[in-house]
Structure 1
Amino acid sequence: MAVAKDRGGRRRPMSQINVVPFIDVMLVLLIIFMVTAPLLQQGVEVDLPQAQAETMEPDPERGEPVVVTVSRDGQMSLNQGPQVNVPLEPRDLGEIVAGLLAQRPNTQVYVRGDRNVDYGRVVDAMVTVQAAGVSRVGLITDPAESER
């Protein structure tokens, strides 16, 4: 502890906050977040088909839409729920979608299908989602080359 002298020559303690450990901790946290942030960006790589379709604006009142992704190898996954971007069987997919719809009944549901996947797998995903209680299912595409 530092000591200061007053006019009478007596010593009185000086209280100061040492911020060096605080700065060290903050730098360590910054490094940890910089390393882990790219790892949190998960997703399923899908080569979407192109179409000249009207762009749909998200509805903020409905919240984030549920997106079912059908990858090139035919695996289905979700962007929400307990198993995000994990391959799911159609039965499990239907149960999770039904649970999400029970929480938020007006949620929009879309299907992202890779352009090289068997069309039947995309239809299976749509049928599974409809069996879970979704009345309208949208398809996600990339804009056509002329629109880019």
Structure 2
Amino acid sequence: MSRTRKRRMMNQINVVPYIDVTLVLLVIFMVTAPMTNPGIVELPGAGQALNQPKLPPVVVTVKKNGSIELDSQAMQRDELLVAVRATLSKSPERSVVIAADKNVKYEDVIGVMDLLKTNKVDKVGLLLKPV
């Protein structure tokens, strides 16, 4: 008597070839990774002198008590904006820098910067003491 058996379909995936390929790729990456040159980035130091523009910047000073000065003249926020715009209309290539005491609240300095930026004064920065 001959018994005939039907072959059953295999319902599992054979993952051994996938593991083999993955391990070969892993070895290739491990061998070639030290050979690649990541590139060298030369960052400027904090004390380096930058190329200074020909015209001096407009200096806005924020005092400890929150008052604002432009060229040593105390003024309110709306007066500051008018004065800065008048100065920049004469020489638009000038930038505006904000100088503040180290004890001034951060929100006061950012408030002045935001006032200038929202009113389309593009070149606004912070004045720092060189190290």
**Same fold flag (TM > 0.5):** yes
> Structure 2 counterpart of 1:140, which letter?
L
> Structure 2 counterpart of 1:77, which letter?
E
Name the counterpart of 2:130.
143
Alignment partners' CA distance in 2, 1:140 and 1:93: 17
- Mapping of residues 89-108 of structure 1, within 5 Å: 89-108=76-95
Moved over 6 A (4+): none
Alignment partners' CA distance in 1, 2:50 and 2:70: 20
Structure 1 residue ranges without an equivalent (≥5): 1-51, 80-84
Normalising by structure 2, report the TM-score.
Answer: 0.59
Q: Are 2:97 and 1:110 aligned?
A: yes
Structure 2 residue ranges without an equivalent (≥5): 1-45
What percentage of aligned pairs have identical amino acids?
Answer: 28
Of residues 48, 57, 78 in structure 2, which corresponds to 1:65?
Answer: 57
Output the aligned Cα RMSD: 1.7
**CA deviation string 1:82-137 (max 9, x = no partner):** xxx12211111001101111111111111101110111110111122223431121
Alignment partners' CA distance in 1, 2:123 and 2:95: 8
Report the number of matched residues.
Answer: 86
Alignment partners' CA distance in 1, 2:61 and 2:77: 12
Of residues 111, 119, 123 in structure 2, which corresponds to 1:124?
Answer: 111
Residues 1:69 and 1:95: Cα distance change in structure 2 (over 3 Å): same
Contact 1:70/1:112, CA 8 A, preserved across alignment: yes
Alignment partners' CA distance in 2, 1:97 and 1:108: 10
Alignment partners' CA distance in 2, 1:58 and 1:105: 16
Normalising by structure 1, report the TM-score.
Answer: 0.52
> Structure 2 counterpart of 1:86, which letter?
Q
